[in-house]
Structure 1
Amino acid sequence: MFRNIFHNVLIFIVLLLSLTNPDIMAKGALDGLDLWYKALIPALFPFMILSNVIINLNLTEGVNMFMRPLTFILKLKKEAGYGIFAGLFFGYPACAAACCNLVKKNTISKEDANICIASFNNVSPAFLSGFVCMEILENANCFLPVFLIFYSCTLITSFIIRYIIFQKYRDTYTSVSVPMPQKSALIDKSILSALKNIGKLGGYIIIFSILSHCIMSFIPFHPEILCMLIEITTGLTVSDRRYLTFLPFISLGGVCGMFQTFSVDENNIIDKKIYILGKFISAVITMAVCGIVILFQS
């Protein structure tokens, strides 16, 4: 219901802009397309193809063993380790895409998937180091504090989600073997699935980039706050460039990040309320930690 209303509002805004402010719409669309083409496709498209192939060929065992300490602590099925790995290293919406594929393969339960997605579906280390530290902050010395704060808050969030929100969940799920398709058909299917998902992500990035440009054009006071709530990448470019003030927004991920995540779920696997709650918990924890650091610095 909410998603349909939001889609209708977005369509109305885009149509209104195309008639009244075509220059803003064109600039927003070009910036969104540039972000999709230069950042998202190189980072995510090859991973999506490879991830689909790895999952369908049941080749995730090495990654699962590597992530076993974390899945053990969180009392998750060890096969959920691949979803956590995807979220920690590849960014939005790799964790969601991997976990949804694992559920469709009957490898993990929906509960396992939702715990992983709500906890670890975040921006990638490449985004934090390359875009946040080097382009926005222009300071390589920020790597360590940014990474420590962000990933420690991610870990705290995962414990809250697992042991408070999902406190009654017990891992009693048994994996079911699914017949493996022919390798040629599997690769074709993986490529088509990746193309479909990357196309959806591009559409959302362009739409929310247009909205961000509208905010910057029409809202005179502190548009960066609303921009970061809508689309984090565009919002960071107009932020105050102090990582302790914008890291909570990165943890939240923005409305665009949420819609990107939901777009890869075609089987209603993701519990949207749990996911949104998880992102807000992460943002609040990050805000608290950043506030403590600011107090110590002053």
Structure 2
Amino acid sequence: MCRINYFCSFPAQFPEVTVNKPKTSLKRKLYDVIICLALLSVMTALVIFPQQSVKAGGDGVKLCLNVIIPSLFPFFVISSLVIELGIAAKLGRFIEPIMSKLFRVNGACSAAFVLGFIGGYPVGAKTAITLYEKGQCSKLEAERLLSFCNNSGPAFILGVVGAGVFSNSIVGLLLYLAHTAASVVIGILFRNWGDGGSYADSSGPYLMPGKNQKAPGFASAFTIAVKNAFQTTLNICGFVIFFTVIIRLLFIANIIPAVASVLGGIFSPFGFNQAAAERLLTGLIELTSGVWTLQNSAAQLTASAAMAAFMLGWAGLSIHCQALSFLCDSGLSAKTYIIGKFLHGILSAALVYFIVRLFLIEAPVSSYLAEQVTGMTGMGFFKSLILSTGCAFLLLFCLTLFSRAISSHTLTPNKTTGKKSGKSVEKSL
């Protein structure tokens, strides 16, 4: 009995076990609420405006069939072949000094830089991520590369924007040069991103395929390239159709005009009215739709060209979603990409604005170029696909010849010493 009283008189000192429930931050709760409200609003709008939604979806499908698929699919195939066949690595050995000094990335990254300027959005981002997944660049280099390699192509800027929207080839050339120059400047600004300043720390022996890494045959590489290009193109078409419908619903629901009215009232002292705000908001969401709103604009050429330059540099939420969909499974950060595209838009707009004002470039009275571009864009799916495929394979042929010329030059034995004249990549790494 005493023993029982002894144990009962003193409370047992057992450590309390507390279960830490995961706390949901206020920021996360607010994010979830906004997403739920946005999805509910879209579903409601689709039910209330079914005919307009179907028509907008049809316009998105036509845009994919007439523009997106024939123009992007061949370049996606070529970009994959350039990497799979080892052409990017061979080109990298030649361009290594330029890429390392300017952007502090290895030479293989030049494939993403070149293809991004030729193929247009989002070929550059896809190529950069593929280089990282294939082990031809480090994570740090891929994130630096994403800040400046995803760019609009010359066909879109010179043809659609310059000739089609402004009916002025000089404006198109100016937009492309400003777009290119701004991209290079952004790459230089991000050259020190993410490390303490040592380029060697971000490099490694995995940057270039070694002799033991044999490139696959053309048949195998071509099969892989076509499969990857088809999946990528289908993904892009989904985003284009979705955002085409969203923009139409935002106009029907009077959301974009209402926001544009507020912005126009705030920035009216600077000559920024509601119509300009509507064009800018459209371009922030979807590039192609935003650029076409500048056609026959009542605004001065200086303002219209600067706005077009910003849209081309920023690229729009639709293209960002396309690029970020590639980033999901790669483990790369999207911070450099988003910041880089915003700065790209600002810098491009500033360059175009000052150059147009400095040289007093005027818009032409004739719309001949715009009519020609309209005929080109309406030439049909198969004609566009054949033309784009021919250009893409011509590019592959030129890159292959160039890479073979580089390989034969760097691997030619020196007659006097009996050694190879080129630098040993393995030794430098």
Aligned residues of 1:245 and 1:290 also touching (Cα < 8 A): no
Structure 1 segments unaligned to the other structure (5+ residues):
none
Structure 2 segments unaligned to the other structure (5+ residues):
1-27, 258-273, 361-429
Q: Does 1:250 align with 2:281?
A: no
Q: What per-residue deviation string (whole Å, max 9, x for no partner) do you get for residues 97-145 of structure 1?
A: 1111111111111222221221120111111011101111122232332
**Which segment drifts farther, 9-18 or 100-109?**
9-18
**Residues in 2 aligned to 1:93 and 1:275: alpha-carbon distance in whole angstroms:** 12
Q: Does 1:33 align with 2:61?
A: yes
Q: Does 1:44 align with 2:76?
A: no
Q: Which of 161, 182, 192 is the aligned partner of 2:190?
A: 161
Aligned counterpart, 1:120: 149
**Which segment drifts farther, 95-104 or 261-270?**
261-270
Structure number with larger C-alpha Rg: 2
Work out the number of aligned pairs and report it.
Answer: 298
More helix by share: 1
Q: Which of 72, 76, 81 is the aligned partner of 1:53?
A: 81
Q: Which of 226, 239, 242 is the aligned partner of 1:204?
A: 239
**Residues in 2 aligned to 1:38 and 1:166: alpha-carbon distance in whole angstroms:** 44
CA apart distance, 1:169? 5.3
Q: 1:297 to 1:179 in 2, by over 3 A?
A: closer
CA apart distance, 1:54? 2.6
Aligned counterpart, 1:231: 286
Percent identity (aligned): 20
Q: Which amino acid aligns with 1:19?
A: V
Q: Which of 202, 205, 226 is the aligned partner of 1:174?
A: 205
**Residues in 2 aligned to 1:182 and 1:266: alpha-carbon distance in whole angstroms:** 29
Q: Which of 222, 225, 231 is the aligned partner of 1:190?
A: 225
Aligned residues of 2:305 and 2:353 also touching (Cα < 8 A): no
Aligned residues of 2:94 and 2:107 also touching (Cα < 8 A): no
Aligned counterpart, 2:173: 144
**Residues in 2 aligned to 1:3 and 1:199: alpha-carbon distance in whole angstroms:** 29
Aligned counterpart, 1:110: 139
Aligned counterpart, 2:164: 135
**Residues in 1 aligned to 2:85 and 2:33: alpha-carbon distance in whole angstroms:** 39
Q: Does 1:18 align with 2:53?
A: no
| TM-score (structure 2 length as normaliser) | 0.63
Q: 1:199 to 1:275 in 2, by over 3 A?
A: same
Aligned residues of 1:154 and 1:282 also touching (Cα < 8 A): yes
**Residues in 2 aligned to 1:99 and 1:228: alpha-carbon distance in whole angstroms:** 25
Q: What per-residue deviation string (whole Å, max 9, x for no partner) do you get for residues 4-50 of structure 1?
A: 98876665454223211122212221222122212221121112122
**Residues in 2 aligned to 1:181 and 1:62: alpha-carbon distance in whole angstroms:** 15
**Residues in 1 aligned to 2:97 and 2:35: alpha-carbon distance in whole angstroms:** 41
Aligned counterpart, 2:266: none
Aligned residues of 2:140 and 2:194 also touching (Cα < 8 A): no
Aligned counterpart, 1:293: 355
Q: Does 1:94 align with 2:123?
A: yes
**Residues in 1 aligned to 2:39 and 2:237: alpha-carbon distance in whole angstroms:** 16
Q: What per-residue deviation string (whole Å, max 9, x for no partner) do you get for residues 192-230 of structure 1?
A: 211111111000001111122223332334321211110
**Residues in 2 aligned to 1:90 and 1:253: alpha-carbon distance in whole angstroms:** 14
CA apart distance, 1:59? 2.1
Q: What per-residue deviation string (whole Å, max 9, x for no partner) do you get for residues 237-288 of structure 1?
A: 2233721232112111111111011122353343112211111111222233
Aligned residues of 2:104 and 2:192 also touching (Cα < 8 A): no
**Residues in 2 aligned to 1:190 and 1:3: alpha-carbon distance in whole angstroms:** 38
CA apart distance, 1:179? 5.9
Q: 1:56 to 1:16 in 2, by over 3 A?
A: same
SS at structure 1 position matched to 2:332: coil
Q: 1:173 to 1:202 in 2, by over 3 A?
A: same
